[in-house]
A and B are shown apart, each in its own frame.
Chain A
Amino acid sequence: MDQNIGVYLCSGCGIGEAIDFDALSGVAEESGVAKIYAHACMCGAEGSKVIRDDISSGAVNCVVLGACSGRVKSEIFAFDPMQTIIERVNLREHVAWCQPAGHEDTQAMAEDYVRMGIVRVQKSTLPTPYLEALDKTVLVVGGGSAGMQAALDAAKAGYSVKLVEKEPELGGHMAKWHKCLPLHPPYHEIEDIELSLTIQEIESYPNIEIFKNSTIEKISGAPGMFDVALNNGGATHRVGSIVLAAGWKPYDATKLGNLGFQKIPDVVTNVQIEEMAKAGSLTCPSDGKVPSVVGFIQCAGSRDPDHLPYCSAVCCRVSLKQAMYFKEQNEETKVIVFYKDMRTPEQAEEFYKQVQKAGVIFVKTDTSKISVNEGSELKISVETIDELLGEPIQMEVDMLVLATGMQPTVLDDPILNLEYRQGPALPALKYGFPDSHFVCFPYETRRTGIYTAGCVRQPMTCTRSKNDGTGAALKAIQCVELTSQGKAVHPRAGDLSYPNLFIQRCTQCKRCTEECPFGMYNEDIKGTPLPHPTRCRRCAICMGSCPERIISFNNYSVDMIGSMIKSISVPDEYEEKPRIIGLICENDAFPAVDMVGLNKLQYPPWVRFIPLRCLGSINLVWIADALSKGVDGIVLFGCKFGDDYQCHFIQGSELADTRMSKIKETLDRLVLESDRIRLEQISIDDYYRIPQILEEFTARLEELGPNPYKGF
């Protein structure tokens, strides 16, 4: 496409008072653009009509809009991405609102942003979306609470569903249980489990195909074109996206010998209690008698660094429910619950009160230190410190129930058996739950198009699992719809670009195939990357990883950012006006810098921010580009990393940090100080720190003196 660039400059919202528009237009003119137009309110009917008319007349096919942040008014400035390239130059939040009006340094900053915006457009081409992944079937793995709900909701929304269940019948754990927690006001009574209607509805639903007694042998392909092989030996099934609702398994109680399990016959688990209650009677395994006193030990192996360090969220409520099983069987049965903390969120507090009113005795204690032995009068003796009494107590019970926690079924079985270069399983967090951006984006996993729901994702109740099923089904539907249109899913939803590899120059170094957080690349036998475009989230971490710089996008490339850096005007060393390049994450740091403007905070005028899709897309050559251009310092703003990371692409900022540790080599080659580069972790609410960080960085650069490469 021959580019006809139109530069549209808005002087509203204080921009016109801060910046000299004649001089700014002059900068655009130097770039040889087709049109320059200024208006006092570009987002108004008159201003935006000028742009639309220019586009429809063919006078302009590339728009550089110097106005407010690209994060606002996006609907007004939305043009057909297949016809028009648009770049939003943020003159408002990033210049006019954070710099003194009319100052020459403010003007220089605005001019650099316009230069960079024009270069960005010049280095972009129109997209050629990937339109070959068209299947919209949703595969649901697991027929428990979450899976059944996901299947039903996807089917009701008009999508074909394939539901795979390893057991002979649907229902999951619920089908094996006696009763469930109170579901209706006033939340006082445990309730019967009603599953048959749901199962009947699913089994008779026209667009749900159910595979019972089935497991997954292999899944290959990518969103919109997954091929699923089941263990029944039949043909593969093509699906568009996947909901994994494979549920949980109880923590292995044989590891809880300290609490008497397998040493004393009447020490049982909460799962066994459900089975016994479902079978009709709660009796001591040793002699078949109804117990006179029953104890429950909460956090049996939970919140315990030697076992499960986390809380399984439901065990407190389950024990309250099971305590009522015993009271319903015989009102005279004494029930004692030994607990660390009773966790009864939502309406469960009402139920907790009811159970207390039924006379169940609660003993607050460190349950990991309880001593369980054979009893003298009753079968089991429990000795512990009652923290509320402040003294040790010894109580005897006939039966002791261990409230064990939950672990994801994927802990030691990949279940999905993905044919991915990075392995058959979903990458997991430290406790074995599939990794997901747990702060902001539930259901997401590190495999595009595969969403988790229910207890495989995190411990939760049946009610929440059902809600989870609904949520994951919606994500799965979003995925097949966007994928079929060649668009990216979350977080760059709608992006039509995908990585292009100039494969002839690939050295099979495997950095891209290893570093992609989403496993987008498989490999051929030689190690050449085999991209699966619909697995891609467009973070461009691969682009940053590639030492040969052969990976690019139509609207994002190593050359593009490098050229933008080179386009800025760097004053010579005698002017004492340093220059700082800020390479910042577009997801958190960029809006944080917007907030600096919104709050009218000021920072040194030397910095030029360039948003990156992810800090992980940073390529070391940009650092060299900047330093050889005479830029004095480079600041990198990425998301928080570590176990509780906030990176939208999971590992991007952490990878950037690793790469920066290697930058010293480059600096040594250039004979430069490593302090000229600084990486900061910035959350979206850290905006107030930004001016201080930049002031400190500027002060340090002043100590170091100007970049000796200035003027070369």
Chain B
Amino acid sequence: MNNSIMILIFIISTVAGYKLIKDVPSLLHTPLMSGMNAFSGITVVGAILTTASAAALHSKILGAIAIILAMINVVGGFYITDRMLGKFKSGLKDK
């Protein structure tokens, strides 16, 4: 892919992300952080691609480790965020 397009996507994403996340109230900062943390595990896609195309055995083994690490990040991250958000309850119906 064209390098300048990749840089453009990077800049747009940073700015858009900045604008989107500025609206998140401090109440949800922890779930936001752990949810974003799960997103950073998207590197699993890169790990899959490099492992699939790796030739040497040691590269394959390293790649498998990368996939495992990234998957722990993704699955654990979304799961814990889910559990946290499940605890945030509104009290209005009690009143």
A joins B in a complex: no
A residues bordering B, Cβ < 8 Å?
none
B residues bordering A, Cβ < 8 Å?
none
